[in-house]
Amino acid sequence: MSLKDWLKKKLAGDDSAKLELSPEEEQLSGLNLQEVLGAHMAWKQKLNSTLNGTSSERYEVSTISQDNLCVLGKWLYGPGKKLYSKLPEYEALRKIHADFHICAGEVLIEHEKGNMQKAKEILNGKFRDASNHIQLDLVRLFNSAKG
């Protein structure tokens, strides 16, 4: 399914839509869409594992809360900013990506304080919403930039 078709279905509320891209569609100035989407979707599982005590990884709030350390963040503040910062889709993505990392940090803070219920509420609420918006806004940016 093309970027445009996937975006239309997602915006219409169809979460079953599967994004299948050609090699040309999946790259934007050095950023691989599938790779970035997968990496951000994996964070929910990582945080769930942390909350459940099954993770062997230890995440630092000060690191996870920063939006410029992951692949997407480095791209957003590097080549993406240089090439696409004038597009409204770029700024929307940058903002929701920052919110996503702040929410991830909030989950960890609540977990460290022993507030498991609050941590899970954030993970399944604000964090999930931010993750969904990143997917949509990233596809919107790709779609707009590729015109």
Closest to 136 (Cα-Cα) out of 85, 82, 108, 100: 100
Q: What is the pLDDT of residues 17-30, one digit of tens each?
A: 676 777 777 888 99
pLDDT value at residue 50: 95
**Per-residue confidence band for 7, with pLDDT thresholds at 50, 70 and 90:** low
CATH number of 3-146: 1.20.120.30
Dist CA 68 CA 101 (whole Å): 9
**pTM score, whole prediction:** 0.86
Q: Write the DSSP string, 14-57.
A: -TT------HHHHEETTEEHHHHHHHHHHHHHHHHHHHHT--S-
Q: What is the pLDDT of residues 90-101, one digit of tens each?
A: 999 999 999 999
**Per-residue confidence band for 3, with pLDDT thresholds at 50, 70 and 90:** low
Whether the per-residue pLDDT at 145 is higher than 80: the answer is: yes
Q: What is the pLDDT of residues 99-139, one digit of tens each?
A: 999 999 999 999 999 999 999 999 999 999 999 899 889 98
Domain ranges of the chain: 3-146
Percent of the chain scoring above 70 in pLDDT: 93
The whole-number average pLDDT for the span 32-60 is 91
User: Looking at residue 85, what DSSP letter applies?
Assistant: T
